[in-house]
């Protein structure tokens, strides 16, 4: 098995103001500088990318965005292009977050287009997949995750996953305080890796698969101890430096 370096990515979502993100970033910088096994990224609201990028300059922490347009440029009011994200030295871009899929109606097709656009620009997509509660309860978890994943594999080709991160985020665990058990997470992570391995073993072995959904400092170590869990995508707990650092330091 490849030694995969875990990635802990903060997804601040639509939270914070300049006044609150400055001390948050300073706190994370100070904690990570003391030593951290994981790679760390901060996915900031688009309007704060410049500010956060400045604060992170010269550090080991990567800058990420939470969304991007599936179009290159043009008459798309309110949208942000990959070229704009590149101007601010973003390394990662979250695509297909369940809030984008479920609240803003993003389709598997659009998610695949975003994934390809991010890749073509040289940044790394963090592709989110995950099932709704009713889908899990109906026993359809694997079917849903496979559908979301297969669309991107078909459109982008398996080779594209050499420069990608996956995030398994069961929708029922996001922001609910209800975390998947480490066994539930491992089961789906292993399924995802196997699905990729059907196309390319080496890529499947190398790719990092993060878990997301109510990860906290208190449950991170157990989740990250699972064989196929390579870090986390962290929402609520990424808004407090100490809590987020506790998660970063849970990676061994």
Give catalytic residues, as residue numbers. Answer: 97, 169
Task: Work out how close the CB of 123 gets to ligand PGA at its nearest, in angstroms, rounded to a whole number.
Answer: 18
Find the binding residues for ligand PGA in span 140-179 (CB under 6 A).
Answer: 169, 174-175
Find the binding residues for ligand PGA in span 193-212 (CB under 6 A).
Answer: 212
Residue nearest to ligand PGA (CB): 235
Among residues 144, 233, 247, 251, which is the contact residue for ligand PGA, using CB under 6 A?
233
Contact flag: residue 215 with ligand PGA (CB under 6 A): yes
Percent helix, strand, coil in the chain, to 5, is: 50, 15, 35
Q: Name 205's Cβ contacts closer than 8 Å, sequence gap at least 6.
A: 1, 2, 193, 197
Among residues 10, 229, 234, 248, which is the contact residue for ligand PGA, using CB under 6 A?
234
Q: Which CB sits closer to ligand PGA, 122 or 175?
A: 175
Contact flag: residue 66 with ligand PGA (CB under 6 A): no
Angle (nearest 5°) at CA 108 between 83 and 231: 75
Q: CA 75, CA 200: separation in Å to the nearest integer?
A: 38
Is there a contact between 32 and 60 (Cβ–Cβ < 8 Å)? yes
Q: What are phi and psi of 146, to 5 degrees?
A: -65, -40
Contact flag: residue 11 with ligand PGA (CB under 6 A): yes
Residue 211, strand partner residues: 168, 232
Give me the residues that bind ligand PGA (CB under 6 A), please.
11, 169, 174-175, 212-215, 233-237
């Amino acid at each position: 098995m490849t030694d995969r370096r875990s990635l802990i990515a903060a997804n601040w979502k639509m939270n914070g103001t300049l006044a609150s993100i400055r001390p948050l970033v300073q706190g994370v910088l100070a904690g990570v500088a003391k030593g951290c096994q994981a790679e760390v990224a901060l996915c900031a609201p688009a309007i704060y990318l410049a500010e956060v990028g400045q604060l992170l300059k010269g550090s080991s922490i990567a800058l990420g965005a939470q969304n991007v347009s599936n179009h290159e440029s043009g008459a798309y009011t309110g949208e942000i292009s990959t070229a704009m994200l590149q101007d601010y030295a973003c390394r990662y871009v979250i695509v297909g977050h369940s809030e984008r899929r479920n609240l803003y109606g993003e389709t598997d097709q659009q998610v695949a287009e975003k994934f390809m656009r991010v890749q073509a620009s040289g940044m790394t997509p963090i592709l989110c997949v995950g099932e709704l509660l009713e889908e899990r309860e109906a026993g359809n978890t694997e079917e849903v995750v496979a559908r979301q994943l297969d669309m991107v594999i078909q459109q982008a080709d398996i080779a594209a996953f050499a420069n990608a991160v996956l995030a398994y985020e069961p929708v029922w665990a996001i922001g609910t305080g209800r975390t998947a058990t480490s066994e539930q997470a491992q089961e789906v992570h292993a399924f995802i890796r196997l699905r990729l391995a059907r196309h390319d073993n080496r890529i499947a072995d190398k790719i990092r698969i993060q878990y997301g959904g109510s990860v906290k400092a208190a449950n991170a170590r157990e989740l990250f101890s699972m064989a196929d869990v390579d870090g986390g995508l962290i929402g609520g707990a990424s808004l407090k430096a100490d809590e987020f650092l506790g998660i970063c330091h849970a990676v061994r």
